[in-house]
Amino acid sequence: GGSAMAAVRDVEIDPEGTFKYILVRLQCPGGGEQRDIVRGTKAAEFHNHIFEKVNPEMEKLGYECKCLGGGKIEHNSKDKKIRVFGLSTGYGKADHSVTVEILKKEYTDYEITWSDDKK
């Protein structure tokens, strides 16, 4: 139970550039422990491509996944800045403030901001 969920990384995003991201809630079947993770990559043309990759991985570990929404991430590793913005047509807008809190756990020395801007 708990140990497998701890092995799942909070954040997996590309090291540089602007790309789509989703906020995903993991839950143990039948309730109990849950946590939110951030996944984003330039390789995904659409938000559901990210979810279609994450979902089977998490199901293998025994979690149910739910996409809480999406947006875009602009990752500037040189200046150590991350900007979270935009929305997903299919999943709606993620709560970017939640995303920022998760990103701060991983990127402790970054300036991380969010807005509802489309671009």
Q: What is the pLDDT of residues 22-65, one digit of tens each?
A: 999 999 888 778 999 999 999 999 999 999 999 999 999 899 99
Instruction: Output the pTM of the full model.
Output: 0.93
Among residues 47, 49, 75, 96, the one annotated as catalytic is 47
> Is 47 marked active-site?
yes
Element (H, E) at 23: strand 17-27
Is 42 marked as a binding-site residue? no
Q: What does CATH list as the number for 11-115?
A: 3.50.20.20
- Residue 88 has, within 13 A of its CA and on its CB side, a CA count of 28
Instruction: Give dist(CA 115, CA 60) in Å, integer.
Output: 34
